[in-house]
Amino acid sequence: MAKKLSSFAGVKSNLLNGRSVVIGVPYLWFLLLAAIPLLIILKISLSEMESTTISNMIDWRDGWPKLTLNFVSYQFILTDSLYYKTYLSSIQYALITTVLCLVIGYPFAYFMARSPKHIQPTLLMLIMLPFWTSFLLRIYAWKTLLVSNGVINNTLMSLGLIDAPLPMMNNSFSLLVGMVYSYLPFMILPLYANLSKLDIRYLEAAADLGTSPFKAFWLITVPLSKAGIIAGSMLVFIPAIGEYVIPELLGGSSTLMIGRVLWDEFFNNNDWPMASAVAVIMILLILLPMALYNKSQADQLEAKA
Amino acid sequence: MNESMNKIFAKSWMLLVYIFLYMPIVTLVVFSFNDSKLVTVWSHASFRWYGALMEDSRIISAVGLSLKIAFLSALISVFFGTFTAFALNRYKRFKGRTFLSSMASMPLVMPDVIVGLSLLLMLISAQHLMGFPEKGLFTILLGHALLGTAYAAVVVTSRLREMDAKLDEAAMDLGCKPFQVFILVTLPLLLPSLLSAFLLTFTLSFDDVVLSSFLSGPGYTTMPMEIFSRARLGLNPTINAIATVTIVVVSAAVIASSFYSSHQERKRKREEAQAYSNN
C-alpha cells in the first residue's frame, strides 16, 4: 500500500500541468451550464414581471447599487392553495410510484440475482433495452393501450369480459402506469447491482442456525441491500416529482403535477419569475432526497475501497 | 415441492415484469402495420403509414435536425464526460471536488423542466450581455451536451474504476510522458466504454423533448418535439411507423455494440491471462 501511494505521488508531480487541465475543463463546463443557471433561476424568481421584461434587481442610484428583492411570486405561491395542492399531489404521485417500483422491482432484482450466472447478462440487457428505445414513444404506446377504444379495452370487450370500456385513461391510474413503467428500470438496476454482490454464505449460515428463509430474507438480505434500496428509490422519486411528459400525455387535466404548472407558467403565461419560483421551491423539496442519494453513493464507494 | 413452487413464482414474476416492459413496444410495432386510420382497431396489414411517413416533409426535416444534434451532442458529451470521469477518479483530493461531483450528478436526477428552464434563462441573460447565442441548434445542443456529459461521466467512471492504475504507472516507468500514456495506454483500454457512452448520449439526445422545447427557437423542431405535439392531439398512425423504425435501428445498434464490447472484454481477459502466465 505504501509503495503504491508513493508511486502515485510520483505520477502526480509529473502530471501537475495536466492535472489542472483535467480538473479545470469539466469544472468550467459544469460551472457554466449547471451552477450559474441555478443561481440565475434564484435571481429571476426574486424579480417581478413588468409587461414584457422582468424588473431589474439591481438599480444604480448615485453610483451605488440598490438591491431590490421581490417576493411577489413566492407570496403568490404560498397564499394560493392551488400551488400547495399541486406540490402535495406531485409528492404523493412520486411516492406511490417509488413504492410500486420497489414492490415490483425488488423481487425482480432478487430473482434476477439468483438466476444462473450465464443468463444474467441477457436478463439485464432485456431490462436495459426498453430504456434505450424512445421514452416518448413508449409513453405514447400506453396511450394507444389505455384509451377507452384502446387495445386493452377492445380486447377485453371482444372476449366478453367487460361490457363497457374501463376508464383507464386521463386519470391517476394511467399516470401511475406511465410513471411506474418509465422508472422501473431505474429501481431494478441499482437493486440488482447490490443484490448480485450479496454473499450467499450469510444466508447459509442463517439456515444452519435454524432461521426460516422468510425470516432470513427480512433479517439479512433486506438490511444488506439498504444502499441499493435508497439509491433506487431516490433515482425514481426525485425525477418523478418534476415529471412533465407523462402527466401531459397520460394524466389528463385532473391530475395535478408541479412540472406541468412550471411549464404553463413559462410557456402559456410567459411569467418567468413565477416559473422560476415554482422551480426554486421544487429544488428545495428535492434537496433532502438528493443529499440522501449522494450519501448512499459515497458510503457504497467507501465500502468498496 | 416448496422449492419448485418458489422457482415457479420467481419465473412468473420475472415474466410478468418483462411483459409489462415490452407490451407497449410490441403493440406500437404491430399496429404500425395496421391499414386502418383508427390506430387501435386492426383492419389488415399494410405499409400505408410507412408510405405516409416518407412523404411527411416535417417529420423528415425533424429527423435530420435530431440526428445532427444527437451526433454532435454525443461527441461533446463523451469529450467532457471523459474529463469529468478522470478528474473525479484520478484525483481524490482537490479543492471543489464535492462541488464538481454534485454538479456532475445534478443533471442525472434533476427534473428536466428545471434543467431546461435554468439553462434557457442563463442563455437569455448571456444574450442580453453579449448578443450571443441565438436560440436554435446551438442552444439545444448545449442542453443535450450538459445532460449527456453527466451520463457519459458515469459510464466512463465505471470503466476507469475497473482499470488497473498499474498499467499507467508501468508506461510511466518506461519513460512515457503523461500525454503519451493517455493516448497509448489509457485511451485504448477505455475505448469500449467511450463507444457505449457515445451510443447512450446519442439516444438521450435523440429522445429528449423537454430540454429541446425550452431551448429551441423558431424553425428548429426536433423529431421528439414533432412527435410530442402530434401525440398531445391524439393518436396518430404515423407515430407508430416512426416508432417502429427507431426501435429497429436502436435495438440493432445496442445489440451489436453489446456483442462487440463483450467480445472485446473476452479478448482483453485472454490477453491479460496470457501476459500473466508468461511471467
pLDDT band of A17, cuts 50, 70, 90: low
Q: Residue A14: pLDDT above 90?
A: no
Contact of A30 with chain B, judged by CB distance below 8 Å, is answered with yes
pLDDT, residue A63, reads 63
DSSP states of chain A: -HHHHHHHHHHHHHTHHHHHHHHHHHHHHHIIIIIHHHHHHHHHHTS-EETTEEPPSEEEETTEEEE----HHHHHHHH-HHHHHHHHHHHHHHHHHHHHHHHHHHHHHHHHHHS-GGGHHHHHHHHHHHHHS-HHHHHHHHHHHHSTTSHHHHHHHHTTS-SS----SSSHHHHHHHHHHHHHHHHHHHHHHHHTT--HHHHHHHHHTT--HHHHIIIIIHHHTHHHHHHHHHHHHHHHHT--HHHHHHSTTTS--HHHHHHHHHHTS--HHHHHHHHHHHHHHHHHHHHHHHHHHHHHHHHH-
Distance separating alpha carbons of residues B242 and B239, to the nearest angstrom: 5
Q: Which residue of B has its CA nearest to A233?
A: B109
Residues from chain B contacting residue A181 (CB–CB below 8 Å): 20-21, 24
> Residue B124: CB partners within 8 Å, gap ≥ 6?
none
Interface membership of A28 toward B (CB under 8 Å): no
Asked if A130 and B165 come within 8 Å (Cβ–Cβ), the reply is no
Region A200-207 average pLDDT: 83
- Structurally, at CATH architecture level, domain A74-304 sits in Orthogonal Bundle (1.10)
The pLDDT value given to residue A61: 60
Nearest chain B Cα to A289, which residue? B109
d(CA B68, CA B65): 5
Task: Report the pLDDT value the prediction gives residue A243, as an integer from 0 to 100.
Answer: 93
pLDDT in tens, B234-255: 888 888 898 899 888 888 887 8
pLDDT tens, N- to C-terminus, chain B (279 residues): 467 888 899 999 999 999 999 999 998 888 888 887 777 777 777 888 888 888 888 889 999 999 999 999 999 999 999 999 988 888 877 888 888 888 888 888 889 999 999 999 999 888 888 877 888 899 999 999 999 999 999 999 888 887 777 777 888 888 888 778 888 888 888 888 898 899 989 999 999 999 999 999 888 999 999 999 998 888 888 888 988 998 888 888 878 877 887 787 788 788 878 877 775
A283 CA to chain B: closest CA distance, Å?
8
The reply to whether residue A111 touches residue B10, judged by beta carbons under 8 angstroms, is yes
Res A4: pLDDT: 46
Give the integer Cα–Cα distance in Å for A3 and B220. Answer: 57
* pTM for the model: 0.85
Subunit contact B119:A37, Cβ cutoff 8 A: yes
| A30 to B39: CB separation less than 8 angstroms, yes or no | no
Chain B within 8 Å of A252 (Cβ-Cβ)?
Answer: no
Q: What is the mean pLDDT of residues A177-183?
A: 95
Distance (Å, whole) CA A233 – CA B155? 21
CA distance B120 to B271: 49
Which domains occur in chain B, in start order? 56-246 (1.10.3720.10)
Asked whether residue A133 carries a pLDDT value surpassing 70, the answer given is yes
**Contact (CB<8Å) B109/A286:** yes
Q: Are A68 and B145 in contact (CB under 8 A)?
A: no
pLDDT of residue B236: 82
Three-state DSSP at B89 gives helix
Write out chain B residues lying below 8 Å of A259, CB-based: 111, 113
Q: State residue B166's pLDDT score.
A: 78
Are A132 and B203 in contact (CB < 8 Å)?
yes
What number of CA atoms fall less than 13 Å from residue B266's CA on the CB side? 5
**Residue A170 clears pLDDT 60, i.e. is over it:** yes
Which positions in chain B touch A135 (Cβ < 8 Å)? 207
Residue B71 has what pLDDT? 96
A16 touches chain B (CB under 8 A): no
CA distance B43 to B36: 6
Inter-chain touch B113–A144, beta carbons under 8 Å:
no
Domain boundaries, chain A: 24-70, 74-304
In Å, how far is A38's CA from the nearest CA of chain B? Answer: 6
Cβ contacts from A onto B, under 8 A:
233
Out of A107, A144, A184, the one facing B13 most closely (by C-beta) is: A107
- Give the CA radius of gyration of chain A: 25
Which H/E stretch holds residue B252? helix B237-278
ipTM exceeds 0.95, yes or no: no
Is residue A52 pLDDT above 60, yes or no?
no
Nearest to B239 among A123, A140, A184 (CB): A140
Strands A58-61 and A64-67 come out as antiparallel
The helix-helix angle for B137-162 and B187-207 (nearest 10°) equals 140
CB A113 within 8 A of CB A228: no
Model confidence pLDDT, tens digit, residues A204-231: 888 888 888 888 888 888 888 888 899 8
**Minimal-distance CA residue of chain B relative to A4:** B166
Chain A residue whose CA is closest to B244: A137
